[in-house]
Amino acid sequence: MNIIVVGLGKVGEKLVERLSREENHNITVIDIKREVLQDTVNAYDVMGVFGSGASVDVLSEAGIEDTDIFIAATASDELNLFACLLARKLSENCSTIARVRNPEYNRELHLFKEDLGLAMIINPEHTAANEIARALRFPSAVQIDTFAKGRVEILKFKIQSGSPLANLKVADIKNKLSGDVLICGVERGDDAFIPGGDFVMEEGDFISIVATIKNAAAFIKKIGIKTNKVKDTIIVGGGATAVYLAKNLIKSGIEVKIIEQNQARCELLCDLVPKATIINGDGTENRLLLEEGIENAESFVALTNIDEENVMLSLYAKTQTDGKVVTKINRIAYDEVIRNLGLDTIIYPKNLAAEYIVRFVRAKNNSIGSNIETMHYVLDGKAEALEFRIVENSPISNQAIETLDLKNDIIIACINRAGNIITPRGKDVILPGDRVIVVTTHKGFKDISDILK
C-alpha cells in the first residue's frame, strides 16, 4: 500500500519503522526539518518530501493522488486535522488518520469525525492513560491487553518463588489447578516461547495467559497473587496523560494525587480534575514524596516528560513502597537496559499509537475477508496477538482445530462466539462469525489464512 506519514516526531518515526520494515509498505514521509527528514530517509529507505503537510504542492509532490492511507502525526492537532481534510479533498479514496492530543478536542471530535472524513483519531496520551488504568486495576500483572470488546484479556505476570506454577507442565494446569485459562506465551531471559502442552514453566518466567476477566481473576487468586485494584495513587507530572489517567481512576473510586512543578499548570489541573489532590512541587525531591505519603501509597506513576527522571523516580518508589509502580518512557533507545532494571510496568505511548495504526493498516490491506479487529504486541514485543473475524469462505471455518495444518510457533488462544468465550481445545470447531485470537512469534499476519502452512 502507498502510505504518507506527516511529522517525524516520536510517533511518526515509530510508524515509519513499523510500516516500512515490518509491514513492507511504500512509505513517503513529510517534515519541515530537513535534517530529521534526511535521517529518516536514510535509516528506513523511504521517500522524503520537505515541507508542510498542509501544503497542496507538498502533498502533490508526495503523491497524494495515489495514496491509500494518509497519517498526520505532527505536534500540532490543528495542522493534523487540516492536513487530513486537505488529503481527502485531493484524493477521495484515501483513508486519513489524525493524531489529536488536546483533551478539549478529544471530547468533541467524535461529533464531527465523519464530516472531516477521518478514518481514525489517535491520541497516544489517552491510549497510554487507559493502559495505565488497566494496570492499576490489576496491579499484579505486568501487562494487560484486551480483546473481544473487553471480554477477554491477555495478562502477563511473573512466576514467583513458591508459586504452584513453578515446575508445572502447561498441560497439567487444568487438572491440577482447575483453571479455565490458556498459557499463550512464556518469556525466559531473552527468549520467548509459544508453549506446547509439554512445556515446563519455571520460577522467574514471565507467563502470559488468555482468559475472560472472571476466569483470569479466579486463576490469579488461586495461585496466590493479589487481584484487587489499588485504592490510591501518586502521579508525578501533570501533563495530558495525567489528566486522562486521573479522570479514569477517579471514576473507578481510586484516590488520585498529582504532583506538578509548574504553578500555572497546577491551577489548570484543579479545574480539569477537581476531585484529585493537586500538589505544586518538584516530584523528583525525595523529601516531598515522603511528605505526600509515598511509603503508604498503593501505586505510583511517573509521568514527567523526561525519561531519565521517570526511571529514577520509579526506582526510588520501589525502595519506598510495595505498591504498583508504572513508568512512562517516550524514547526506546535504551529499552534493553530499562527492561533489566526490574521496574513493574513500563508504558511506551508511541508504541501503543503505532500498534493501533498498524492494526488499521493491516485490516484495510486485507483482501480475503477475515479482518483483523484487534492487535497487540506481546511477549516483550517478540510476538503478536491478533483477533480475526472469521467469514464464510475462510480456509479455517467449519474445521476442528486439531485438523488444521498450523505453522510452528502459533497458538489459537480464544474463540469468541457471539459473546460466548471458548477456551479452545483440539476438538473445537471454528465457525463463520467467530472472532478468533491468535498468538504468534511470526510478524506481519494480515489474514487468518496466514496461520496455515
Yes or no: say if 106 and 100 are a contact pair by the CB < 8 Å rule. yes
Residue 318 has pLDDT above 80, yes or no: yes
pLDDT at 37 over 90: yes
- Cα dist from 297 to 96, 111, 301, 311, 344, whole Å: 43, 39, 11, 18, 15
Q: Dump pLDDT digits (tens) for 260-278.
A: 999 999 999 999 999 999 9
Q: Give the span between the Cα atoms of 201 and 429, in whole angstroms.
A: 29
Burial bucket for residue 161 (CB in 10 Å: 0-12, 13-18, 19+): exposed
pLDDT band at 366 (very low <50, low <70, confident <90, very high): low
| Helices 263-272 and 240-251: angle between axes, nearest 10 degrees | 30
Reported as a single tens digit per residue, the pLDDT across 334-357 is 666 776 777 888 898 888 888 888
DSSP state of 100: -
Rounded CA-CA distance 389/409 in Å is: 21
Cβ neighbours around 190 below 10 Å, total: 9
Query: What average pLDDT does the segment 313-321 reach?
Result: 94
> How high does pLDDT run on average in the chain?
89
Rounded to whole angstroms, how far apart are CA atoms 38 and 22? 21
Q: What is the pLDDT of residues 378-434, one digit of tens each?
A: 888 889 999 998 988 888 989 899 999 999 999 999 999 988 999 898 899 999 999
- pLDDT value at position 151? 85
- pLDDT for the residue numbered 142: 81
Distances (CA, A) of 389 to 215, 381, 392, 416: 23, 23, 10, 9
Domain annotation for the chain: domains and CATH numbers: 2-122 (3.40.50.720), 132-222 (3.30.70.1450), 231-322 (3.40.50.720), 365-451 (3.30.70.1450)
- CA 117 to chain CA mean position, Å: 25
- The helices-and-strands tally (H runs, E runs) of the chain is 14, 24
pLDDT tens across 51-109, in order? 999 999 999 999 999 999 999 999 999 999 999 999 999 998 899 999 988 777 766 77
pLDDT above 90 coverage of the chain, percent = 56
Q: Kindly report, residue by residue over 432-443, the tens digit of the pLDDT.
A: 999 999 999 998
The DSSP secondary structure of 401-414, one letter per residue, reads GGGS-BPSSEEEEE
CB 370 within 8 A of CB 429: no
Q: What is the pLDDT of residues 234-253, one digit of tens each?
A: 999 999 999 999 999 999 99
pLDDT at 369: 47
Hey, what's the torsion of the CAs at 324, 245, 147, 344, to 10 degrees? -20
Q: What is the DSSP letter of 201?
A: P
